[in-house]
Structure 1
Amino acid sequence: MYHSMIKSFFQFSAGSWISAAISFFTTPITTYLILPSEFGKASLYTLVLNLAMIGVLAGADQSFIRMFYETDQERRPSLLWNAIIPPLFLCGGVTVFLVCCRFEVSRLFGGIDQSLVVILLSFNLFISIFERFSVLVLRMKKRGLAFSALRIVWALANSGGIVFFALTVEKSFLAVIFGAFVSSLCVFALSFLLELKFWVKRCPLSIPKIKEILGYGLPFIPASILYWLLSSMDKLALRSYTSFEEIGLYTAGQKIVIALSLMQVGFGMFWAPVAYEQYENKDSKVFFSRVAKTIAGGMFLVSFLSIACKDIIVLIFDNAYLPSAKTMPFMVFSPLALTVSQVTAMGINLKKRTYWHLFVTLISASVNFVGNLLLVPLYGAKGAAVSTGIAYIVFFYVGTFISRKVYPVSYSLIRFSIGVVILFVVATVNTFSGSLTFELLSVTIGGVAVFLL
Structure 2
Amino acid sequence: MFSAFKRLGADSLLYAFMNVGTKLIAFLMLPIYTSYLSKAQYGAVYLIDQWTSMLTFLVIFGTDSALSFYYYDTDDKEKRLLYVRNVMYFRLFVVAILFLAVVLAGPWIAGALFQEPRYVDLLYISIATLLLDTIFVMATTVLRFEFQTKKVVIWTLVKMLLVAVLSYAALRWFAATPEGLLIGRLVSSALVFLLMLHLTVKYMVWRVRFDVLKELLAYAAPLVPTSLAFWVIANVSTFFIQRFASLEEVGVFGVALRLATVITLITSGVQMAWRPYSMSMKDRPESRALFAKVYMALLLIGAFGLLLIATASPWLVETFFKPEYRDAAFYIPFLSAVTFLNFYYLIVSTGLFLTKETGYISRVFTLAALLHLALNAVLVPLWLSWGAVAASLITYIVAVAFIFRKSQQVYPVPVSWKKMALVLVGTLLALIVIVYVQQASLADGWVLAGWGLFAATLFASRVDRDLRRPVRTIEDENAQNT
Post-superposition offset of 1:182: 4.1
Aligned residues: 443
Pick which of 326-335 and 394-403 moved more.
394-403
User: Pick from 303, 315, 320: which aligns with 1:316?
Assistant: 320
Check if 1:396 corresponds to 2:400.
Answer: yes
C-alpha distance in 2, partners of 1:202/1:348? 40
C-alpha distance in 1, partners of 2:153/2:452? 34
Q: Is the 8 A contact 2:310 2:332 kept in 1?
A: yes
Post-superposition offset of 1:249: 0.8
| Cross-structure match for 1:109 | 114
| Cross-structure match for 1:437 | 445
Q: Is the 8 A contact 1:166 1:172 kept in 2?
A: yes
Letter matched to residue 139 of structure 2: S
Change (3 A) 1:85 1:326: same
Q: Secondary structure at the match of 2:117?
A: coil
| Cross-structure match for 1:329 | 333
Change (3 A) 1:390 1:46: same
| Cross-structure match for 1:160 | 165
Post-superposition offset of 1:55: 1.6
Change (3 A) 1:203 1:79: farther
Instruction: Say what the alpha-carbon RMSD is for the aligned residues.
Output: 4.2
Post-superposition offset of 1:30: 1.9
State how 1:132-281 maps to structure 2 within 5 Å.
132-141=137-146, 145-185=150-190, 196=199, 207-263=210-266
Structure 2 alignment gaps of length 5 or more = 468-482
Post-superposition offset of 1:247: 0.9
Q: TM-score, normalised by structure 2?
A: 0.75
C-alpha distance in 1, partners of 2:32/2:108? 32
Check if 1:421 corresponds to 2:419.
Answer: no
C-alpha distance in 1, partners of 2:349/2:197? 31
Change (3 A) 1:417 1:168: same
Pick which of 18-27 and 60-69 moved more.
18-27
Q: Secondary structure at the match of 2:176?
A: coil
Change (3 A) 1:144 1:285: farther
Post-superposition offset of 1:143: 5.1
Q: TM-score, normalised by structure 1?
A: 0.79
Letter matched to residue 85 of structure 1: Y
Check if 1:34 corresponds to 2:37.
Answer: yes
| Cross-structure match for 1:379 | 383
Letter matched to residue 161 of structure 1: L
Q: Is the 8 A contact 1:328 1:385 kept in 2?
A: no
Change (3 A) 1:187 1:177: same
Q: Cα deviations across residues 189-247 of structure 1 (Å, max 9, x unaligned)?
A: 66776xx3996699976655433321221123333333322222221121122111111
Q: Say which one has the larger Rg.
A: 2
Post-superposition offset of 1:323: 1.7
Q: Secondary structure at the match of 1:17?
A: helix
Change (3 A) 1:342 1:8: farther
Structure 1 alignment gaps of length 5 or more = none
C-alpha distance in 1, partners of 2:202/2:400? 36
Change (3 A) 1:88 1:379: same
Letter matched to residue 421 of structure 1: V
User: Pick from 353, 359, 366: which aligns with 2:370?
Assistant: 366
Post-superposition offset of 1:33: 0.7
C-alpha distance in 2, partners of 1:265/1:183? 26
Change (3 A) 1:243 1:113: closer
Q: Secondary structure at the match of 2:175?
A: coil
| Cross-structure match for 1:58 | 61
